[in-house]
Amino acid sequence: MERQLTMRLPAELANKLERSARQLKRKRSEVVREALEHYLDTQPEVRPIERVRDLLGSIESGRPDSGQRHRDYLIRRLRRGR
């Protein structure tokens, strides 16, 4: 069963789509469908950790043992917030 998707495009992107559809002699929906299929097929599967890996260790907490005692610090912080 096919599903319909409605979306808004910035004018510049809509113009590019229109030009491409004319050049390829295809409907805009065909061009979008093929582009979306290509994009989704070529995207590597990314684990959640990979999305934040560059942030790990980038903040200085001032606590040299936060790696070992992170649970203690978190519990203490939560109790203070009550």
The per-residue pLDDT for 24 is 97
Owning domain of residue 33: 9-44
Position 52 scores a pLDDT of 83
Number of separate domains in the chain: 1
pLDDT at residue 76, as a whole number: 86
pLDDT at residue 16, rounded to an integer: 97
Position 10 scores a pLDDT of 97
Q: Is the pTM of this model over 0.95?
A: no
Q: At how many degrees (to 10) do helices 11-24 and 28-42 cross? A: 100
- Residue 82: per-residue pLDDT: 57
Does 72 fall in a domain?
A: no
Q: Is residue 76 part of a domain?
A: no
Domain presence at residue 28 = yes
- Please indicate, yes or no, if residue 62 is contained in any of the structural domains: no
Report residues of the chain scoring pLDDT below 50: none
